[in-house]
Amino acid sequence: MKGSECVSYYTILQNGLVIDPEKGGIERRDIGIIDGQLADVKDVLAQGINIHYINVDGAYIAPGFIDLHVHVFKDATTLGIEADLVGIEQGVTTIVDAGSAGYDNYQLLKDTVIQQSQTEVLAFLNIARQGLGAGLSELADPTQLMTLEEAKEIFAHEPQIVGLKARMSGSVVKEQGIAPLKHTRLVADALHKPIMVHIGNPPPYLNEIFPLLTKGDIITHAFHGKKHGILNEQGYLIEEAIKALQRGVLFDVGHGTSSFSYETLRKFKTSYTQPFSISTDIYINNYDNPVGSLMLTMSKLLALGFTLEEVVRAVTIQAAEAIGLTEQGTLKIGTRADITIFTFHDKPTNLVDSEGVVLTTNRVLQPQMTIRNGKVVFRQ
Ligand SMILES: [Zn+2]
């Protein structure tokens, strides 16, 4: 990698292999940037002098990667990890904190993380008012749910909040069952915002959860390896899952400590072609093992036979559309120049899923350079 760290109004990224999810394919071409936005290379050249050239030496260039599920709220939860460590330093330009914060402590997330990070940090607001700040059974007490009035108020004032989070597993909801999701549904409908629903160990069961989800909602941990998941005993999607996909519900990986199984995704891949998003559910305890990073998670999917274009789409256009982002996840001229540059680390590497299953691969993505708003904010 050559090129200086200087910030220039006019930049050209040279000699990259560009993966443009909207155009398809991988092509060697240059990328222009003017004043923090993607620009036609001809328009940059027309400026004549004072152009900052960055030679990326055959590395891949893609829209900045988006991780829809992370936990970065260090001050209020014990699991929060440093945002830039899992963001720009891993080639991820936008991360979405998935429910660490709720109505009562969102301001602290904003003050201590969102406004302090070079990574763009967005949030799914937990329907529980303390988020994960008061333990991990946050939906067990119905008096602790955010009201519709509170939700309207906070969504109106906080543009970084992109949706709601509800964790629907037995240990979280306790005696409440499906009730917290019904309440989340009412709030989401009034706000026209998506719900990210975590699935795990029942109850509630998926045949209660999925019918409550609609176009634009996101099911994270979709490919976990626990009992009562998206697949039946024959390895096909359960009826409610098929219907949810048909309605436009999005599956999301949400790797996490215990929520990603190669076997589940392999079976899904054998019979279904619906696109999904790839996210990490990264936090302090799974950063070393088994999650690692978004690129490592993407590498696991490459090892399962997904193509490079597919895994890049899953963290760019797919993720951006899921939360209504138009400036991110794209290489369209005139949009914000958030760019991820990466190579392959060509050495046999063992990649483990949440079930302890190991795949050995030579193709591991490695971040080389991260650009936010047209500026180099990280380089290897
Ligand atoms: Zn999570």
Query: Over the stretch 254-284, which tens digit does the pLDDT of each residue have?
Result: 999 999 999 999 999 999 999 999 999 999 9
Cα separation, 372 vs 380, in Å, equals 15
Q: How far, in Å, from the CA of 71 to the mean position of ligand 1? A: 6
Q: How far, in Å, from the CA of 220 to the mean position of ligand 1? A: 8
Q: How far, in Å, from the CA of 332 to the mean position of ligand 1? A: 31
Q: How far, in Å, from the CA of 135 to the mean position of ligand 1? A: 13
At residue 3 the predicted structure's pLDDT band, cuts being 50, 70 and 90, is very low
Closest CA to 150 of 109, 112, 191: 191
The packing angle between helices 308-315 and 294-303, to 10°, is 140
Q: How far, in Å, from the CA of 42 to the mean position of ligand 1? A: 44
Q: What does the block give as tokens for 96?
A: 């979405």
Judged against a pLDDT cut of 60, whether residue 6 lies above it is answered with no
Share of the chain above pLDDT 90, in %: 96
Cα separation, 146 vs 129, in Å, equals 5
Q: How far, in Å, from the CA of 74 to the mean position of ligand 1? A: 14
Which ranges of 192-279 would DSSP assign to H, the alpha helix?
206-209, 239-247, 262-271
Cα separation, 137 vs 85, in Å, equals 27
* Structural domains of the chain in order of their starting residue, each with its CATH number: 10-62+333-343+362-379 (2.30.40.10), 65-322 (3.20.20.140)
Judged against a pLDDT cut of 60, whether residue 2 lies above it is answered with no
Q: How far, in Å, from the CA of 210 to the mean position of ligand 1? A: 19
CA within 13 Å, CB half, 292? 18
- What is the four-CA torsion angle of 121, 122, 124, 130, rounded to 10 degrees? 60
Measure CA 32 to chain center. 26
Q: How far, in Å, from the CA of 344 to the mean position of ligand 1? A: 28
Share of the chain above pLDDT 70, in %: 98
pLDDT in tens, 142-176: 999 999 999 999 999 999 999 999 999 999 999 99
Cα separation, 125 vs 184, in Å, equals 11
Q: How far, in Å, from the CA of 24 to the mean position of ligand 1? A: 31
Question: How large is the average pLDDT for residues 312-318?
Answer: 98
Q: How far, in Å, from the CA of 342 to the mean position of ligand 1? A: 26
Judged against a pLDDT cut of 70, whether residue 1 lies above it is answered with no
Q: How far, in Å, from the CA of 98 to the mean position of ligand 1? A: 6
Supply the pLDDT for residue 34. Answer: 95
Supply the pLDDT for residue 205. Answer: 97
Q: How far, in Å, from the CA of 30 to the mean position of ligand 1? A: 37
Judged against a pLDDT cut of 90, whether residue 248 lies above it is answered with yes
Judged against a pLDDT cut of 50, whether residue 348 lies above it is answered with yes
What mean pLDDT is reported for the chain? 96
Q: What does the block give as tokens for 231?
A: 């697949």
Q: How far, in Å, from the CA of 204 to the mean position of ligand 1? A: 18
Q: How far, in Å, from the CA of 281 to the mean position of ligand 1? A: 5
Cα separation, 265 vs 370, in Å, equals 29
Q: How far, in Å, from the CA of 358 to the mean position of ligand 1? A: 22
Supply the pLDDT for residue 49. Answer: 79
Q: Cβ contacts of residue 207 below 8 Å, gap of 6+?
A: 238, 240
